[in-house]
Chain A
Amino acid sequence: MKTTLTITTLATILAACATPATSSPPPPPQEAVGESWIQISGAAAVTVAADRAMVSFTMKTRASDASEAAGQNADAMTAVLDAMRAAGFNSLEIETFGYALNPEYSTTNNQRTREIIAYTVHNNVRTTIEDVDVVGRLVDTAIESGANRVAQISFFAADTEDARREALAMAVQGAREEGEVIASSLGYELGALSKSMAGRIGSHLSSIPMFRP
């Protein structure tokens, strides 16, 4: 499942030596008076092999009246869905979303007499598949059966909890090690942890937007 582990640690001093001068304003109440500290940020990233792919297709049709545009779209989208189901992809999940019917107006300069010249219908289908090696064939199947836009292809891992915990632990360890370097450079040992805070924990989906003219 997990193929590679890439750790990047980064630490910076955000503040140091909080010893207050006698004439300065009082320190924040949570800080011990006279205590010196360093604050460090740490970051780490763990790479997880993708075991899911999500591909979105759109069917766009256009006709002079709304009913005709909708009918053409229904026929075309049904053909796409039937073709994908018939292709026998394992664990293929299909859902439609974002159906829209819109009038298309003439582009004359007279704004008061805009005329409807056509209607366009969009319907979208989102597919999720566990076999990431057949995404190319899935795309081909949709296009060959009539889909006229491939909106997005994304790869992701279904379970990222272990990776998240691992990245968090590595980020803390990296920050701690940087803190030891900074403290010894200042001529001190590293003391006790006084505060910790988890920052942003994120995942970057790899995404390939694709468009067909």
Chain B
Amino acid sequence: MSRAAATPIEARDQSISANVFIRVALGQELGD
């Protein structure tokens, strides 16, 4: 059986993720 349309398959984007951990000292007390 002949067909007119190709199977529709849409490209999807690739997701690049990053995770970080930082440790930051508390500075001066506000209002000092």
**A168 lies within 8 A of B14 (CB):** no
Identify the A interface with B (CB < 8 A): 3-4, 6, 14, 17, 35-50, 53, 132-133, 135-137, 139-140, 153, 155-157, 160, 163-164, 167-168, 170-172, 175-176, 179, 183-184, 186-206, 208
- Interchain CB contact (< 8 A) of A196 among B15, B16, B22: B22
List 20 A-B residue pairs with CB atoms under 8 Å apart, sorted by A's residue number. A35-B25, A39-B21, A45-B15, A46-B16, A135-B9, A139-B7, A140-B6, A176-B22, A186-B26, A187-B30, A187-B31, A188-B30, A189-B28, A190-B24, A190-B26, A192-B25, A194-B24, A201-B19, A203-B14, A204-B17
**Across the interface, do B25 and A191 meet the contact criterion of CB distance under 8 Å?**
yes
A183 touches B14 (CB 8 A): no
**B interface, over-half SS:** strand
State the CA gap A50–B13 with chains docked (Å). Answer: 5
Given contacts A171-B18, A176-B22, list 14 more A-B pairs with CB under 8 A: A6-B15, A35-B25, A39-B24, A41-B21, A49-B14, A167-B17, A171-B19, A183-B24, A183-B26, A194-B23, A194-B24, A196-B23, A200-B18, A203-B16
Chain B: residues with CB nearer than 8 A to chain A?
6-9, 11-31
